[in-house]
Each structure stands twice: as C-alpha cells, then as structure tokens.
Structure 1
C-alpha cells in the first residue's frame, strides 16, 4: 500500500501512513489486490485509522471480486466506482505473443481474448483509494507523472496541473483507462477489413469461421462492457449533480461534470465503434453468402444453357440410333453430313436465341 499526498504545489509519497487527512490537498492510497488478499480486515482498519471512515463488508467483498461488472454505489461517507479496464500484456513473453498473433492471418489477441480486470475507486472528501491488479501500466504511469510534476507557475500551460480533488484524480485515471479501449479501434478495424476482403475473394474459399465467431463474441462482449461502464459513469454524474449544495464552489462542480461528461463521451465512442464493427462483420458475412449464392446461380445458368444446347442434339442422335431397317438418310451418301449440318444450325440458332434473351450475359 503506497500513500501519496497531493497538494496544489506538488505530489509526494509518504514514507509512513499519516495519522489523519491533510489540511491541504488530499491523499491517494494506492493498493494492489494481491497485497490485501490475505489481510483485508487489517487493510480496512488502516484506512479507517487514516480517514475515520469504515468501509462496509459488502464493499470489501466487491473489492475482491474479480468478475464484478462496472457499477457505482454511494454511502453517506464515500462513493465507490468499479470500472473494468483492459488487461494489457505485462511481460515480454506476453507482448511478443500478442504481436505474433496480431501479425498473423488469425484474429489478433484483442479480438480473440478481450481480457478485462476490475479497478476499484473509493472516494471520500480528502481521500481516494484505488485497488487494482499488480503491474497496472496506467497506475504506474500515473504515479510516475505525479512524482515528476514540478510547479512551473504561469510560464507555460503545457505541463498541466495537479488534480485539486479526489474526484478529479479518479476521473483522470478513468479517462486514461477508457482511452485504452479507443486504441483498439485501429487493430479491430484492420482485422475486420481483412476478413471482408477474404470473405469476398472468389478465388480462395474462406475457412476461418472459428476466428470470425470469436471476433463476433468479443465485439458483443465489448458492447455489453461499454454499456455497463456508461451506466456506472452516468450514475456518478447524477450523484455529483444531486449532492451539490447551494453555497459550494460551483466552478469545481462544473469542472467535475465536464470531466465526467468527457469520460462518458469516450465510452460512447467505444460503444458506437464496437457496434459499427459488429454490423460490418455481419454485413460481410451476408455479402459472402450472397456472393456464394450468385456464383451458384451463375454455374447453374451455364449448366442449363449447355443442357439446352445438347437436348435437341441428343434427340436427333437417339432417333437415328433406333434399329429400323428403313430410315430416311440412313443409306444416303451425304446423310451424315446433312445431319451434322442440321445439328450445327440448331446449336447456332439456340445460341443466337439465348443471346437475344440475354441468357448468356456475364
């Protein structure tokens, strides 16, 4: 468990747990789920000693639940947000395996295995608690950025500023987590486009149906995931509006609403993109079967034309193949050539008729 004191001037890591909340700024308690798995009651007691607020038992259960969906809950003392983020490869082996899958013809790992994990936010007046899995790249990057911050006054706005409240810091982290989903748009779109071309390629039959089904399942999973995230952030937004009291700093509330709306808008973009990709995938499959049906129809038309051409010829050969002693042209010297000429004229006449009726187009 690492504790950071974030003031208006700088952010520092506390060498030991403070005895209470600071008068200036707020505290950020960053914890991994593995650290508190075996002694979560001790961790709750430590949080209560720092903040004076005890976390409810049901919320402790939610913290340790790895399958919990995204949601928002509030009490008189704190608000709790569960947000499912993408689990990115944390080791060199995982990263190499993911790159190899992405560059292959099979579906990339982002399509076949959309792995997520819950991140817990508990927000109080001057305290924010995060509980996440080990090796979280987003949290690690956020900690580094906080500690490297230096107040540069008003000389430049490029360096940003420190968060002024626990709610703002939570929304910043949430926004970064949502951006991970936005980064999926390019590989997903590229893979869907590749499948569309493969499905409509008449020279090579498409056989990667299992990967296509996995992609559709992953997109549907992403759709449901974004809906849960959207509902949770919408409830958070409503809570910010409902808990505003007359006389409080309205600008601070407006800034929180702006950040919340921005995160909700990003989730909406991910949701819309997932639905568009799913629709494109289904449309490509429908076009594939339509093309196959059209190709089958063309083959059947060709076979029908060939059959129609040979039917009168078969009739003529069948008649002259009967075992009668007396038949016209049977013993004539030019009888064979007359019959062959008549058969050729029939074929030419039928071809002209079929062309006139547009049976031979395409």
Structure 2
C-alpha cells in the first residue's frame, strides 16, 4: 500500500478558483435500537458534524442533506430537517464555513398522487426550514412532481412559484434516472434536448434568483451544452461523478464548478488537486485528480443509487467513523468483491490516508463478510 502522511486538514483552508461543494454523508449510531428500514435512524451527531468540519478545513463548501446523505433512501424528512438545522448552526462556529441545503418534497406520501398545489406547498415547507435556520436552498428534484406533471408547463408553474417565494438565491438540481429511476422524464420529457429547453426557460425567467444548476446526467456532452447556454451569472455545478475531472478543468468553452458526492471520500486528494488548478498547474491537477476518476466510476457503478455504500465504507476505512453501518442497512447493497475493488482503487488514487488502519479494517471486513482470512 502507498504511504499517506496525515488525514488532518491543513492549518489554513486552501483557496480554490472553482466553487466546490462536497455532498456529505451521515453517520448513524448503531449502538441504539431503531428500525433499520425506517427513515428515522439514530444519528451520531458528533461524528456527522466532525466530518463536515473536516471538509471545511480542506476548503470545501458542504451540500447538506442531499442524496449522498441518503435522502429518500434511509433518511426521511424529519431526520433531514434536524440535520439541516444542526449543520447550519455548526457552520456558524467555523470561520469561512459555508453550506447549502437540499429542500424537496420527500415528506409527501409516495403512495398517492399529489396536485401541483400540494407539491408547491411541500417545497415551501422545506424551504422554510432551510431559510428560517439561516441557510440557502438547493431545490431538489421532486419524485412527486415527476409523477404528477403532465407537461413542461407543469414544471414551469411549480418552479415559478417556489423560486419566486424563496428569500435567497436557489441552486437547481437535475438528477438523472441513473441515480433515481423515478425521476425519468424530469422537466416533462425523456428527450434531454427538450428537457434542457424547459429548464433554460425557467432559468431565464428567474435569472437573478438562481445561483446555478447542478446536473447529474453522467454525460459530459450534455453538461457542456447546457453550460454553454446558461445566462451570464448563472453557474454550472457538475454533478457528473464519471467526468468531473475534465469538466472542472474546463476547455475553450468554459468550465464547471462542482457539487459532488465523490468529493466526500476523495476530499484530501481533491483539495490538493483544486489547489493546483487554482495555481495554474493543470498538469499537477490532472496528476492528482485523474486516478480518482477510476475509483469514482467503481463507486458509482450501476445500480448507481447504491454509491452511498462505498462512500461510507471509505469513511470507515479512513477512521472518520468507528463502524460500517448505514441507515436502512445500505451497507449490504454492494458485494464484498465491490468493496475489495473500492479498496484497491482508493489506494491507487491516494485516498487511504491512514493505510495501516485501512488495511486492518479491510481484513476484518473480508473475514466477516466473505470468510476470507489474510486476504490482503
């Protein structure tokens, strides 16, 4: 295994020339009884917030209560609302800390159809939690809206109402169906070009109220096209965990900022790479960031929505938490072979910052879950 010096952030947070949000995971507390398949796990708040301090120290902003935090896949709105309030309060005590928080409609009953008015009201409830706590909202894609909307006009109506009522600038959120099959056809069409026209119309109507848009379609060409058509002052935040290296670096047509789940497990290496990029050292940036892409493609392999398991696995290997347990028992969503490949690619990418501990825990994991002794 490669040797790593330290997992602690530098004494002073580095400065990037890209806005970089790390979507952060949640640490559950398995020592307390709760129903694993419920959406209200016991959370280890100390470990959860300590990890956010770690990200801030590496120069990242935090994207809170997003899908990386298992929103809708183990974490329900009640827990997410507490996470948002705690994280915003926690950030106030850290100089330079900044975050934005996911606000959606996931507290609606998924077993019934809702009216557009219901969906607007649901967004308003979650926006109020974020904004009353002093946070900025990320307007998450809505499963309820995708199920209810009959046309692009229905998306226009909902987004017009919610964005107009927001007290702050909003980051929009376009999550592809690779991450959530129930979002197929979002913006009113399964044709990406048609959907892109709808979202651009919404952005044009509310240009001064929109900070940017996060797009997670795992297709660099779609992102470049949308980026080139955004009005001035509206930012592109890549959510492409397959192609982020090249999209952040940019080309002759521009570059993307970032709002990424992969920044959670690769934070130290990504921080060093973004620092190199800010210094104008593109070769240094690519030398650091390129090996992480192979790891990311492993973590986000289909079924992509289970990528959270690998994220938390690496947090455990690196000593950020004392166990490998997840909300909803999602640690069981991937095979031992997958986790072994994650371990190998993480080592190559330089993200196993405590190699002796990682080796010990990987050996324990293989012995327990695959009956493999001395497998490393």
Which bin holds the TM-score, normalised by the shorter protein?
under 0.3
TM-score (structure 1 length as normaliser): 0.23
Q: Between Structure 1 and Structure 2, which shows a larger proportion of helix residues?
A: 1
Higher relative contact order (CA 8 A, sep 6+): 2
TM-score (structure 2 length as normaliser): 0.23
Higher Rg of the two aligned structures: 1
